[in-house]
Amino acid sequence: MAALAPLLAVAFLATAAHAADPFAFFDWDVTYMTASPLGVPQQVIAINKQFPGPVMNVTTNYNVVVNVLNSLDEPLLITWDGIQHRKNCWQDGVLGTTCPIPPGWNWTYNFQVKDQIGSFFYFPSLGMQRAAGGFGGITVNNRAVISVPFDTPDGDITLFIGDWYKKNHTHLRKMLDDGKELGMPDGVLMNGKGPYRYNDSLVPNGIEYETIKVEPGKTYRFRVHNVGVSTSLNFRIQNHNLALVETEGSYTMKQNFTNLDIHVGQSYSFLVTMDQNASSDYYIVASARFVNESLWTRVTGVAILQYSNSKGKASGPLPDPPNDEYDKTFSMNQARSIRMNVSTGAARPNPQGSFHYGSINVSQVYKLRNEPPVIINGKKRTTLSGISYSPPDTPLRLSDLYDKKGVYTLDFPTMPIDGPLVIRTSVINSTYKDFLEIVFQNNDTIVQTYHIDGYAFWVVG
Ligand SMILES: *[C@@H]1O[C@H](CO)[C@@H](O)[C@H](O)[C@H]1NC(C)=O
Ligand SMILES: *[C@@H]1O[C@H](CO)[C@@H](O)[C@H](O)[C@H]1NC(C)=O
Ligand SMILES: *[C@@H]1O[C@H](CO)[C@@H](O)[C@H](O)[C@H]1NC(C)=O
Ligand SMILES: *[C@@H]1O[C@H](CO)[C@@H](O)[C@H](O)[C@H]1NC(C)=O
Ligand SMILES: *[C@@H]1O[C@H](CO)[C@@H](O)[C@H](O)[C@H]1NC(C)=O
Ligand SMILES: *[C@@H]1O[C@H](CO)[C@@H](O)[C@H](O)[C@H]1NC(C)=O
Ligand SMILES: *[C@@H]1O[C@H](CO)[C@@H](O)[C@H](O)[C@H]1NC(C)=O
Ligand SMILES: *[C@@H]1O[C@H](CO)[C@@H](O)[C@H](O)[C@H]1NC(C)=O
Ligand SMILES: *[C@@H]1O[C@H](CO)[C@@H](O)[C@H](O)[C@H]1NC(C)=O
Ligand SMILES: *[C@@H]1O[C@H](CO)[C@@H](O)[C@H](O)[C@H]1NC(C)=O
Ligand SMILES: *[C@@H]1O[C@H](CO)[C@@H](O)[C@H](O)[C@H]1NC(C)=O
């Protein structure tokens, strides 16, 4: 595959650049690094020696150019979350569309950020690498002419929360390939750091924790991303109101929360006003959801919110999570209560040229059903509608470019098939400007989150 990279570069240069818009250039060296977030030295993935990686702070219409050097010992792809790829799918950074960057090679991603003003994150998309790091924030700012439905905050704080294993990503990958479960994570990191020692018997001494320093009376925008592997987390800041204003590039109707469930892959912006008396520091907590919390206490991330006039350390119990062990409706209602503010921000024409999403002509309905992981060919695999996707040796778009037949089949079923589970390179057949309605049916006993890569989608029910 290495030999194909120069050819790809040629194809890519042929696409037109939006030269009138500003450019933002980034040079990233992706390396391994040793860190001890949970007190045990382990190999993590860093970008320019930072773990988590740097925040890419850009403004609508910027042409983003990221030269990524892969200094790992295995192939690498970086994907840009929900950012729509205004150039072409070679920038996608997921297996199937693009060739991975071979070890020792570099590849320059080139895309334009458009319309989606808000908070995203990038991450390595291959082989459990995200469980080792390599992620970082993408902040897309509004142009000055675009109005925003709240006053400019006094500060901007990015917070990555996520479950974490002390085992390295190659070990985790091997466990799945050997047909094993990953088991309960060893903890939750916040900005790559372990928990504050809120309880001497639960948290060992000497763990480095995150401290967020703030000024009394000011309002900050917290951009919180769940970058974990599989654990839904309940996020809360002791004694502080979380005013939700944005999620993944869409402004929401402003709404107050004392805590919010943030599922894997989700990004939320909260306005938080420092309106407390600073009698002590405050806990920032992200704890595991939909599990037996008395068994999962170690899967709790704790950082510290510190006022400049703080009178002492945080102590005592953490603020309570929702008390609903047997009732999932609280969490579902919380999610359902979040509404997009459609009277603000940049309008986004849909591919059928209409702003009236309700009157869109749906080209095709797909029902995607996921089922609990099974063993197929000795490996632990999950299936969607009965199929576990097998990445082909030749990426899909490359096989199209060179008219290479037989790499994949355009036969992904519109409805789940009740038959033997298979591993296959099966792809949804769709047409440019089609509108798909996708129904997700969760046949597993745990929460699933879906990432519709490179697409904006509209939740209708
Ligand atoms: C991000 O960029 C915006 C616009 O250029 C700037 O106002 C802001 O201070 C930057 N934020 C950070 C955290 O650097
Ligand atoms: C690799 O990096 C070099 C120097 O930084 C740059 O000139 C070149 O265009 C990059 N190659 C690719 C394929 O992005
Ligand atoms: C929605 O956006 C409009 C326009 O910016 C703003 O005036 C309004 O307060 C917002 N509504 C809510 C509930 O956040
Ligand atoms: C990753 O974990 C495996 C299994 O514990 C170990 O053999 C290997 O040395 C680790 N790799 C690194 C680079 O730490
Ligand atoms: C610390 O955690 C242990 C185990 O869950 C619990 O028994 C103990 O009460 C906690 N201590 C404090 C001070 O909360
Ligand atoms: C949110 O809480 C603040 C006080 O912290 C209050 O002023 C505001 O009205 C509340 N907003 C909503 C939408 O309930
Ligand atoms: C500060 O606030 C806490 C919690 O609201 C309260 O218990 C405490 O008495 C207050 N301290 C002072 C000095 O006002
Ligand atoms: C959670 O685990 C504890 C400790 O093992 C057990 O006593 C309790 O019954 C469990 N709760 C549920 C709902 O399974
Ligand atoms: C949907 O189809 C109807 C009937 O063919 C047509 O009149 C209408 O304009 C279409 N709507 C959109 C948004 O394309
Ligand atoms: C894919 O869909 C197009 C448009 O509906 C159709 O013409 C084509 O035959 C389909 N291809 C396959 C392999 O089913
Ligand atoms: C999964 O599907 C099977 C067969 O349709 C059904 O019997 C079962 O109840 C479903 N399980 C869940 C958790 O949805």
Q: Which numbered atom of ligand 3 lies nearest the CA of 149?
A: 5
Q: Is 421 exposed, middle or buried (0-12, 13-18, 19+ CB in 10 A)?
A: middle
Q: For residue 185, how far is its CA from the centre of ligand 4 (angstroms)?
A: 17
| Ligand 4 centroid distance, CA of 168 (Å) | 6
For the entire predicted model, the pTM comes to 0.91
- Tell me if 156 CB under 6 Å of ligand 1: yes
Residue in 194, 175, 80, 85 with CA at minimum distance from that of residue 127: 175
Confidence check: pLDDT of 265 > 60: yes
pLDDT at 358: 74
Element (H, E) at 334: helix 329-336
pLDDT digits (tens, 9 = 90+) for 166-186: 999 999 999 988 989 899 999
Measured from the Cα of 361, ligand 9's closest atom is: 1
Residue 312 C-alpha to ligand 7 middle, in angstroms?
13
Which amino acid belongs to residue 361? N
Label residues 182-192 b or e (16+ Cβ within 10 Å = b): beebbbbbbbb
* Higher per-residue confidence, 370 vs 147: 370
Q: Please name every residue paired with 260 in a beta bridge, in sequence order, or none if there are none.
A: 235
pLDDT for the residue numbered 85: 58
The CA distance from 268 to 290, in Å, is 20
**Pairwise CA distance, residues 31 & 47, whole Å:** 6
Cα 343 to ligand 3 centre (Å):
7
- Predicted pLDDT at 99: 84
Q: Which stretch of 155-159, 233-237, 420-424, 451-455 has the lowest confidence by average pLDDT?
A: 451-455
Residue 431 tokens read as 């047409």
* Cα–Cα distances in angstroms (integers) from residue 350 to residues 60, 315, 355, in the given order: 18, 51, 7
Cα distance between residue 372 and residue 375, in whole Å:
10
Neighbours of 93 (CB within 10 A): 29
d(CA 183, CA 130): 17
pLDDT digits (tens, 9 = 90+) for 219-263: 999 999 999 999 999 999 999 999 999 998 889 999 999 999 999
Q: In which band, very low, low, confident or very high, does the pLDDT at 4 lie, cut at 50, 70 and 90?
A: very low
- Percent of the chain topping pLDDT 70: 91
Ligand 5 centre distance from Cα of residue 319 (Å): 14
Query: Contact, 53 vs 136, CB < 8 A?
Result: yes
Q: Is the CB of 67 under 6 A from ligand 2?
A: yes
Residues with Cβ within 8 Å of residue 267, at least 6 apart in sequence:
81, 118, 119, 120, 121, 223, 224, 225, 226, 247, 248
Whether ligand 5 lies within 6 angstroms of the CB of 317 is answered as yes
Q: Is the distance from CB of 335 to CB of 321 less than 8 angstroms?
A: no
Confidence band for 361, pLDDT divided at 50, 70 and 90? confident
Cα 82 to averaged position of ligand 9 atoms, centre (Å): 28
CB within 8 Å of 14: residues ≥ 6 apart: none
pLDDT of residue 11: 27
1: pLDDT strictly greater than 60: no
Q: Bigger pLDDT: 51 or 452?
A: 51
Q: How far is the CA of 199 from the centre of ligand 5 (A)?
A: 6
Indicate the range of 127-141, 213-227, 360-374 predicted with least confidence.
Answer: 360-374
What value does the mean pLDDT take over residues 264-269?
95
CB of 141 within 6 A of ligand 1: the answer is yes
Atom of ligand 1 nearest to the CA of 139: 1
Smallest CA separation from ligand 6 atom 4, residue: 241
What whole-number distance in Å separates Cα of residue 351 and Cα of residue 293?
45
Q: What's 2's DSSP letter?
A: G
From 158, 335, 142, select the one nearest 255 (Cα to Cα). 335
In whole angstroms, give the CA distance from residue 319 to residue 362.
Answer: 45
Q: Which ligand is nearest to the CA of 274?
A: 6
Q: Give the span between the Cα atoms of 267 and 212, in whole angstroms.
A: 18
* Tens digit of each residue's pLDDT (9 = 90 or more) over 49-58: 999 999 999 9
What pLDDT, on a 0 to 100 scale, did the predictor assign at position 6? 27
Q: Mean pLDDT of all residues in the chain?
A: 89
Ligand 11 pocket mutation pick from 369, 443, 445 by most atoms within 8 angstroms of CB: 443
- Closest ligand 8 atom to residue 292 Cα is 1
Residue 185 and residue 233: Cα distance in Å, rounded? 12
By the 8 A CB rule, do 157 and 131 touch? Answer: no
Write out residues with Cβ below 6 Å of ligand 7.
Answer: 277, 279
Instruction: Give the range among 50-64, 86-100, 115-129, 423-437 with minimum mean pLDDT.
Output: 86-100
Distance CA 273, CA 242 (A): 8
Position in ligand 1 atom list of the atom nearest CA 55: 13
Task: Give the ligand with the smallest distance to the CA of 117.
Answer: 1
Q: How far is the CA of 342 from the centre of ligand 9 (A)?
A: 22
Q: From edge to edge, which strands make up the β-sheet containing 242-247?
A: 187-190, 155-164, 219-226, 267-273, 242-247, 250-257
**Residue bearing the CA closest to ligand 5, atom 1:** 199
What distance in angstroms lies between residue 195's CA and the mean position of ligand 5's atoms? Answer: 15
Domains of the chain: 23-141 (2.60.40.420), 155-336 (2.60.40.420), 357-442 (2.60.40.420)
Q: What is the pLDDT of residue 283?
A: 98
Mean pLDDT for 206-210 is 97
